Chain A
Amino acid sequence: MQDLTEHIIELIRLASTNLPPDVEAALRKAVEQEEPGSAARGALETILKNVELSRSKSTPICQDTGTPIFYVHHPEGWSTRRLREQIVAAVIAATKRSYLRPNSVNTLTEKNTGTNIGDEHFPVVHFDEIEGDTLMMELMLKGGGCENVGAQYSLPNNELGAGRDLAGVRKAVLDAVYKAQGQGCAPGILGVAIGGDRGSGYTASKEVLYRKLDDVNPDPKLAEMENRLTKESNEMGIGPMGFGGKTTVVGAKIVGLHRLPASYFVTVSYMCWAYRRRKMTVKGDEVNYE
């Protein structure tokens, strides 16, 4: 089996230091919408200067390099045990090279392992076997500040007047955006899962964030809701960093999951503007990054 360690280090470097083009384009659009001279505009301008600087110097966009979340879609014949070993080796090396900050803390002893390696859930690694001959590895770095403002609602929710339907989902998500204020480093991106159980809801609300910002949900009802949530979140005027302003979120992505008849969860993962996700494909000797 091929050793992908060096390539995974490169994937981590890219993710940590080079903001994806779709995200940068959305931020550039947002700057133009804010009043010249406002704190909101100043914040976005600094963010964009930071994005350029990180790219040119290969330094982390944000010092909180987050939880590394890997999704590995591999053809038949790859050993997931060995792939995991390579991911672990790459994470350790990337931490040494300062692409990642040591972020893995033992909750009971309060000791930081210093390597970004913890238990079997740190880093997070998902495997699934796919058809064909191309391995695809996706990586997202999910920051702590924005993770802390994620939320899960069990519908119906009387306080919000939210029933078990899309109208109720909308209310729950808007409430989550309001509660987050600027704390998740707005402008944010919303990953929303409807249904599932408490665990699968959170997992899916992050998976949906691997989608491109400018893609369109194939389900027209969800596509409409994604646009509406973006627009209405912005009407709240929370703005970049919570300074007040027009841009509170730059996108919303929704996925529907099957659920038990008894449960109806709405799960929101809030992604900060430092929306770091990158993809690598491996086919024979050919390795590509996106």
Chain B
Amino acid sequence: MREVNIPISDEVVRSLKVGDSVALSGVMVTGRDTAHKWLADTFIKKTRPPQGDDLPTFDALKGFLSGGVIYHCGPVVSGLDTKDYKFVAAGPTTSIREEPYQGDVMRLLNVKGVIGKGGMGLKTLQACQEVPGMYLHAIGGAASWIAQTVTRVIGVYKLDFGVPEAMWVIEVKDFPVVVTMDSHGGSLHVEVEQKSKSVLDELLARG
């Protein structure tokens, strides 16, 4: 298990390869469907003018995400009434839904790590090579365990998206992930898919 601190330098990104287990520590931001769509529409495609608190939110996010990590997660959070937030359950959500946006978001904000589950596609893999960055697979469903690695909730943006969709800024210690897409074009998902496909073809032929 390799220990990696956020922000992550290009050297560290380049040194990590598909299959490496990593314990992450530092500050990261959660973001899923609504957040990615908001970033893409407002700041990349610009099909929607910034409004409300969009601009200050974007500035604040830039600070956290440059060299940083975005986590595909819709947490269960306690203390919503008192704003004394605590992460109760915080496993990853399926990442592929963000495939249309992720590469551009990585480039826009210089994001070094994307955490989620299930892997992502070629557009994101391409961005991983360019930025450089990597896709880090968390353990799907291990929500209590991961929540325990969240040592502090620093703040929350866009809470009006709803608790799961809001962008939570959190500090973590030893958050466990596996590198499944690296900055050298490697993807464990492609490997496993190809291997399983050849077994499937054999099984189908067996009748």
Which residues of A pack against B, CB within 8 Å? Answer: 39, 42-43, 46-47, 49-50, 53-54, 57, 59-65, 98, 101-103, 105, 111-112, 114, 143-145, 148, 160-161, 167, 171, 174-175, 178, 181-183, 185, 232, 235-239, 241-244, 272-274
Contacts and interface: CB of A to CB of B under 8 A. Distances in A.
B143 interface: yes
Nearest to A42: B21
B204 A171 contact: yes
Interface string B99-140: 000000000000000000111000000000000000001011
B139 A241 contact: yes
Contacts of A102: 162-164
A50 B119 CA distance: 21
B200 A236 contact: yes
9 contacts: A42-B21, A47-B142, A54-B89, A62-B143, A64-B74, A111-B162, A175-B204, A183-B118, A241-B140
- Size category of the B interface is 35 or more
B88 A59 contact: yes
Interface stretch (B2-10, B55-63, B187-195): B187-195
A101 B164 contact: yes
Nearest to B178: A39
A241 B189 CA distance: 10
Nearest to A57: B144
Query: What are the 5 A-B residue pairs with the smallest beta carbon separation, nearest first?
Result: A63-B89, A50-B145, A185-B140, A50-B142, A236-B196
A174 B119 contact: no
Contacts of B146: 50
B91 interface: yes
B89 A145 contact: no
B28 interface: no
Chain A contact residues: helix, strand, loop or mixed: loop
Given A42-B21, A272-B140, A145 B117 contact: yes
Nearest to B1: A42
A47 B142 CA distance: 5
B75 interface: yes
Contact of A145 (B140, B189, B204): B140
A98 B88 contact: yes
B25 interface: no
Contacts of A241: 117, 137, 139-140, 178
Interface of B: 19, 21, 73-78, 88-91, 93-94, 96, 117-119, 137, 139-148, 162-165, 176, 178, 180, 188-189, 191-193, 195-197, 199-200, 203-204, 207
Give the one of A39, A143, A144 with max B CB within 10 A. A39
A54 B141 contact: no
Nearest to B146: A50
Contact of B196 (A39, A167, A171, A178): A178
A233 B88 CA distance: 34
A101 B204 contact: no
Nearest to A44: B139
A214 to B, nearest CB: 21
A272 B191 CA distance: 22
A47 B140 CA distance: 8
Contacts of B193: 181
Nearest to B34: A110
Given A101-B74, A101-B163, A273 B141 contact: yes
Contact of B143 (A50, A105, A175, A236): A50
B86 to A, nearest CB: 9
A241 B135 CA distance: 14
Contacts of A62: 89, 91, 140-143
Contacts of B196: 178, 181, 236-238
